[in-house]
C-alpha cells in the first residue's frame, strides 16, 4: 500500500470514528431529553415491543425500564385495549410506517 493510500485510509477511519461518536452523543442526549419529559413516553417498535420507557412512564406504571424493555406493550394495557390494538392498530401499522 502506498503511503498516500495509508494516509487516506487512516483519515477515513478517523472520520468514521468521529461520526460514530457524534451519533452516539446525539442519541445519549435524545434519550436524556425523553427521560426528563414530564409526560409518560413509551416508544415501541413495529411489533409493539417496548424500546424506551421514560421516568414518567416508570412512575405511572410502576415498572422499571428493565421490566418492560423488549416486552410487548400489551403488558401495560387493560384487556379491552389489547383487543383493539390487536384487531385495529397492528394490521395498519405497516401502512402507517411506509416511507
pLDDT tens digits, 21-67: 788 889 899 999 999 999 999 998 888 899 999 999 999 999 999 99
Strand, helix or coil for residue 46: coil
* Domain positions in the chain: 1-36, 37-99
Q: Which residues contact 54 (CB under 8 A, 6 or more apart)?
A: 34, 35, 36, 37, 40, 41, 42
pLDDT of residue 84: 74
pLDDT of residue 57: 97
Residue 96 in this model has a pLDDT that exceeds 80: no
- As a whole number, mean pLDDT of residues 64-72 equals 95
CA 32-36-40 angle, 5° bins: 115
Q: What is the CATH code for 37-99?
A: 3.30.450.20
More confident residue, 90 or 68: 68
* Number of residues in the chain: 99
Buried (b) or exposed (e) across 8-32, using 16+ Cβ within 10 A?
A: eeeeeeeeeeeeeeeeeeeeeeeee
Amino acid at each position: 500500500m502506498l503511503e498516500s493510500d495509508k494516509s487516506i485510509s487512516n483519515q477515513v477511519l478517523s472520520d468514521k470514528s468521529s461520526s460514530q461518536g457524534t451519533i452516539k452523543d446525539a442519541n445519549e442526549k435524545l434519550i436524556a431529553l425523553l427521560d426528563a419529559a414530564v409526560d409518560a413516553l413509551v416508544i415501541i417498535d413495529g411489533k409493539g415491543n417496548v424500546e424506551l420507557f421514560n421516568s414518567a412512564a416508570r412512575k405511572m406504571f410502576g415498572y422499571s425500564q428493565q421490566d418492560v424493555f423488549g416486552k410487548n406493550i400489551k403488558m401495560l394495557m387493560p384487556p379491552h385495549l389489547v383487543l383493539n390494538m390487536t384487531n385495529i392498530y397492528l394490521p395498519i401499522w405497516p401502512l402507517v410506517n411506509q416511507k
